[in-house]
Chains A and B, each alone.
Chain A
Amino acid sequence: MSYVVLARRYRPQTFSDIVGQAPIVKTLGNAIRSDRVAHAYLFAGPRGVGKTSTARILSKALNCIKGPTDTPCNVCDICRSISEGSDIDVLEIDGASNRGIDEIRNIRQNVGFAPSRARYRIYIIDEVHMLTREAFNALLKTLEEPPSHVKFIFATTAVNRLPETVQSRCQRFDFKNISVQGIEKHLSEICKTEGKEIEPAALHTIARSAKGGLRDSQSVLDQLLSFCNDKVTSADVNYVLGYIDEDKIHGMFECFVKRDPSGSLEIVDDILNEGKTPMELIDQLLLRLRDLLVFSSCGQDAAWIEFDEPFVERFGKSFSADTLMYMIQMLSMTRMRSTDSLLQRIATEMVVIKLCKMESLRSLSDLVERIALLEDKLEQVANNPGKRNNNDIIHSVDSSSQQAVMGKPIEEGDVINPVKEEREISGNAIDKKDVWEKILKNIQHKKKSTWALFREGRFVSCESGVLVVEFPRNYSFHKQKLDQPEEKKIIEDCVKEAVREVIEVRLVVSENGRHEENSQGQSSGDDGGAQQTDDIVFSDPAVKKTLELFDGRVIKVNR
């Protein structure tokens, strides 16, 4: 007879054997006792938490000779054959292998027949999420109103893939991940019955590694028991799980703190030569970083985490929360699906070097504070330009900006041409930009399509009642469109609304740069282009503000 693995041998046989699903067990027990068993159940939850086992126990409970009872006897013929999976009235179907509509039709046909020896005919469909859409739909009517002797039990790890129409016809039970303590207790009971010895620390590591799946932990334990002859130690567990020694992880963090890339590379080399995978290293670093992050934001109060005390004590203060975030980000970016060991190795080395070389990050709020401080100071300077030779201001601004502030005061007249031009235009109390925006806004309210075309233009001048708007060279289409009488009317109305003295709006297309000057040849065109950039530069709010703030003037514009 072959060996049967722990997970199969220790499959729960009664409701009380089930680990960590107390509410579900209680509900089902009560339902059986009070004779209120539904005709369709849906068991959902992660792997290895007891869905299939519960389904089997439930069918035993319903069909047991002494039943229906919440404590099936497990000795009668029916109970035994259900446990073996060979009962004729309890059909356990692999939903992933029999997923088509034909298989479901088959069930539908047989549903009508009465059970051959037990009370109910029970269909357990495991991995039910793999049924095809057609198969689900074929099942709907039967599922809603099956004959009284039929029960359905569905089990799945991906309940979200079941159509809602199926979910709404079933009583749904969500199985939870099993707690570390729960797994630990169960495993130590197994060890006792198997007559094997195991270190408590090792047991704990196994329980944690299972991430809530009891079967995972049983598989690991099985492997350990199969090759450890006497006592199972933590080192054995680390080998089976592919875990990396604590010291190495600590050493890695030490290198991060000391900014020692070659030390960290050495550790990487060591780990890889032991046959551990780079991804495992990254996973464990991530876990540790997460611990530190939780520690740095919640302190010791975070009771839901088991801190590794010496580790947290040693590195808890070494990194700021933002640095930790950054490290986590870098590492998770390295976690890729690539299977190639060379690539993984190099990627890991890269990230380790990066982490060793990283600057410690200031927290964001700190930076914001500093910026706010700077802004305050700037405002002070701007509000009291007269005071700018004052000592306290000079002290408050750092040396590089000091020079800029100390530049010689400039007379109004010194301002060079472009700025003067602007002043002239705005002499009429018309600020080009304001007016333009106002016009655009008016047009936008009236007709969106006109606005879309019009906004490509540029306000050139507004003299003696004629407002000139220029379009770039390749926008002649816009001009044509806007020159149509009805469009033109809208524009003129809007312009008049904004600037009362305007009588006419003239649209031009610039051929070679500036409007109306296209006949003057290449050179003037270039000039015009230059002018245009100047205008853009001077109308830029940042430039304006700078000039205003420092009372400066423009000497040269680099293109």
Chain B
Amino acid sequence: MSFAEIIGQDQVLSLFKNTIQNKRLAHAYIFAGQEGIGKMKFAKELAKKIFCQSGKIDDACDICSICKRIVTDNFADLFFLLPEKNHRVIKLEQLRHLQEILYVKPVESKHKIVIIEDADKMNEEASNCLLKTLEEPPLYAIILLIVTSLESVSETIKSRCQIVRFSPLSVKVVKKILTEQFQLDNNLAEQLAFISSGSLRRATMLMDANALEKKHWLARKLLEINRMDNLTFSKEVFNEWNIQDFDVLEEKRLHVKELFFLFLMFYRDMLICKTGGTNFLLYYDNWKDSLIARSKSFSEKMLFNILDIIKTSLKHLDYNANINLLIENMITEILCVQSNHKHFVMGQS
């Protein structure tokens, strides 16, 4: 592993290559971008490059003892900070500990690098605590903050860092990684890449969860949904997704989130078909014709309503709502919107 193996983040890569060449490496960076697009991996590679002793100009050697130890997380001058297990936030104590570490001089090299993962999950005390350190750390220190969204990082922190934006991976890149590293066949990889929306982590998760089959199942069901009763359908969804099999709440939540996303994509596709944009990327590309046909019985307003319902459900999912109820509720509401429309049509004719 080295810079050469970073795929799909060419701009970021050239930015850092130039920066290192010009010897203008700043002491604080924010790596921002959605999940699963290689921010963490890049941070590690960057650390490797900075620490590497081989003297290669624009890459790490990958064979010296330091590089090897970084790969196995055994290098003393590289420190990771992330939320403690089963906690949603990074706490003040962790930051205090970090400061102690930071003010101890590096052991083996000229630098000391701290990578704060999920830095947008620092609570208020923690992020304030970081401010002074972030502004004027010891000269040997480099602090990398990794965040999924800049929105939740406070202005005071942003102003002290250089912000590096990571872009989502293109379908091509995700497909390439899936076929090369996971030995998927071309067609499957492409479909997964489509619904992964540029995140490799999501793509692999979907792969593990057999998401494609479920997606097709859902599309089939949703297309004929008017013949079904809401609770029966909810039950079928429960069974198909094995929702009761999850013991850990976080896992269950993630799983259900993907389910909701499938719903969201379906109705979004229908909206796109409805507005006539048939040459756009559709998540349910195989169902294009049925989608177009089906979209005729929907008004745009209904589709907006349905999408709003799903969006609200997604929000409630984060608020710790009862998951089973949430699914039933969402399906019922969607069906309500659909059937209301039918009355409307009947009333007109």
| A residues apposed to B, CB below 8 Å | 1-5, 7-8, 46-48, 52, 85, 94, 96-97, 99, 126-127, 129-130, 157, 213, 215-216, 219-220, 222-223, 225-229, 239-240, 242, 261-262, 265-266, 269, 272-277, 279, 337-343, 345-347, 349-350, 353-354, 357
Contact = CB atoms under 8 A, between A and B. Distances in A.
B15 to A, nearest CB: 5
Contacts of A338: 314-315
Contacts of B166: 275
Nearest to B280: A265
Contact of B149 (A2, A216, A339): A339
A339 B35 CA distance: 9
B159 interface: yes
15 contacts: A3-B26, A7-B135, A47-B155, A94-B133, A97-B99, A215-B159, A215-B160, A226-B19, A266-B277, A275-B11, A337-B149, A347-B311, A349-B272, A354-B304, A357-B300
Contacts of B272: 265, 349
B271 A157 contact: no
A342 B277 contact: no
Interface size class for chain B? 35 or more
B148 interface: yes
Interface of B: 11, 14-16, 18-19, 22-28, 33-35, 95-96, 99, 110-111, 120, 125, 128-133, 135-136, 139-140, 148-149, 151-152, 155-156, 158-168, 170, 197-199, 261, 264-265, 268, 271-272, 275-277, 280-281, 300, 304, 307, 311, 314-315
A353 B271 contact: yes
Contact of B24 (A3, A94, A261, A343): A3
B268 A349 contact: yes
A96 B125 CA distance: 7
A160 to B, nearest CB: 14
B87 to A, nearest CB: 18
A126 B307 contact: no
Contacts of B307: 346, 350
A445 to B, nearest CB: 48
A96 B135 CA distance: 13
B167 A274 contact: yes
A219 B131 contact: no
A219 B159 CA distance: 7
A5 B26 contact: yes
Given A47-B155, A265-B280, A269-B281, A97 B19 contact: no
A269 B148 contact: no
A48 B157 CA distance: 10
A346 B281 CA distance: 12
Given A126-B132, A226-B22, 20 more contacts: A1-B139, A48-B159, A85-B136, A94-B129, A96-B128, A96-B131, A97-B129, A219-B26, A226-B24, A229-B22, A262-B277, A265-B272, A265-B275, A266-B280, A279-B151, A339-B152, A341-B197, A343-B311, A349-B271, A354-B304
A130 B162 CA distance: 25
Contact of A127 (B25, B28, B111, B128): B128
